[in-house]
Amino acid sequence: MNLNQHTALYGVIGDPVGHSRSPALHNAAFLSTGLNAVYLAFEGKEIEGCIRGIKALGIKGVSVTIPFKTAVIPYLDEIDPLARRIGAVNTIVNNKGRLKGYNTDALGAAKALEERTKLRGMTCLIIGAGGAAKAIGFMLKEKGVTVSIVNRTRKRGETLARSLGCPFVPLVDVEGEKGDILVQTTPVGMYPHINQCPVPEHILEQGMVVMDIVYVPAETRLLKSSRNRGCATISGVGMFIHQGAEQFRLWTGMDPPVEVMNKAVKEALSEQDERN
Ligand code: NAP
């Protein structure tokens, strides 16, 4: 990269950010499109200071990750209607000091699913009721999917189910549930706990479409079992790439180089696999 006094600065804010593959994804995209821009990881301890830093330093675009996706909202000048409905922002565009928040997690998940299955008229079990489940739940409802929320903690699960207008199922009772699609949104199965599976494996029936949004490892225990039981599987890498691609579009107004982004993330993930 040829960095100079005109280089535009982008980055991710969150805590922790040391594991983030967003720098690999976005720097590969900037390089391949010839943009004079760089993307860094900023570990931020409190959101107000991060926002002041973005404005003061003229950082052009920011990804927002745990724990700031909801906390950032009151500090923004404008919120895109989808992000407002979801109640979480994962992308900030800085337009001459005016910060606008978006949610590309929802679009990223929908695109990853739509590459493998139609959505309208399908039924879907969403495992988990956190920020990602909320984004995906809203998007799938808009796409005409009949959703059920399955969660370990009743209160959180019921709250999300109520806001989506859909049924809640306690995780311990998931055995009797059926869905054309299962979307796993908890951190269960993520490195280093790679042998954990969030649901009993016998509920994975041949023909189901199973997406795990965990992307380290790329094939989680849930996806491995699903594949062995004849389900179509979608890894979290797809959602990650598409949410990043939508960020690139918002920041630059250009079509994202999705294949380049895909290759960069897969390389970054395989380097990690080799280190483990
Ligand atoms: P979050 O808001 O903290 O929600 C976590 C959810 O997981 C909650 O519903 C929680 O249930 C459940 N959970 C946590 N530990 C559990 C366990 N041991 N057993 C059963 N349920 C458990 O997190 P989030 O922002 O939604 O993110 C969730 C995961 O998605 C993270 O691993 C994140 O890296 C990943 N993610 C991936 C992408 C992508 O692009 N692929 C994008 C966004 C997020 P309780 O309510 O019972 O606590």
pLDDT per residue over 121-155, tens digit each? 999 999 999 889 999 999 999 999 999 999 999 99
Would the CATH topology of 8-103+238-275 be identical to that of 107-234? Answer: yes
- For the chain, the structural domain boundaries read 8-103+238-275, 107-234
The pLDDT, as a whole number, for residue 152 is: 98
How would residue 276 be classed by pLDDT, with cut points 50, 70 and 90?
Answer: low
Q: What is the pTM of this model?
A: 0.93
Q: Mention the CATH class of domain 8-103+238-275.
A: alpha beta
* CATH class, 107-234 region: alpha beta
Nearest CA to ligand 1 atom 39: 240
Could you tell me what percentage of the chain is helix, strand and coil, using 3-state DSSP and rounding each to the nearest 5? Answer: 40, 20, 40
* pLDDT score at 275: 65
- Residues with CB under 6 Å of ligand 1 are 66, 105, 108, 128-133, 151-153, 156, 185-188, 190, 198, 213-215, 236, 239-240, 243
Cα separation values, 134 from 35, 103, 171, Å: 34, 11, 16
Mean pLDDT of 208-227: 96
Q: Which residues contact 56 (CB under 8 A, 6 or more apart)?
A: none
Query: Which residue is closest in CA terms to ligand 1's atom 1?
Result: 130
Read off the pLDDT of residues 68-124 as tens digits, 9 standing for 90 and up.
Answer: 999 999 999 999 999 999 999 999 999 999 999 999 999 999 999 999 999 999 999
Convert the pLDDT of each residue in 224-275 to its tens digit. Answer: 999 999 999 999 999 999 999 999 999 999 999 999 999 999 999 887 666 6
**Confidence category of residue 1, pLDDT binned at 50, 70, 90:** confident
State the amino acid at position 268 in one-letter form. Answer: A
> What is the helix (H) or strand (E) element at residue 228, kind and residue range?
helix 221-228
Q: In what order do the strands lie in the sheet with 37-43?
A: 37-43, 8-14, 61-64, 91-95, 98-102, 78-79
Ligand 1, atom 2, lies closest to the CA of 130
What separation in Å is there between the alpha carbon of 225 and the centre of ligand 1? 20
| Cβ atoms of 131 and 139 closer than 8 Å | no
Ligand 1: centre distance to CA 237 (Å): 15
**pLDDT for the residue numbered 272:** 66
Q: Which residues are catalytic?
A: 69
Confidence at residue 2, expressed as pLDDT on a 0 to 100 scale: 84
Look at residue 213 and tell me whether its pLDDT is greater than 90: yes
For residue 172, pLDDT beyond 90 = yes
Q: pLDDT per residue over 181-203, tens digit each?
A: 999 999 999 989 999 999 999 99
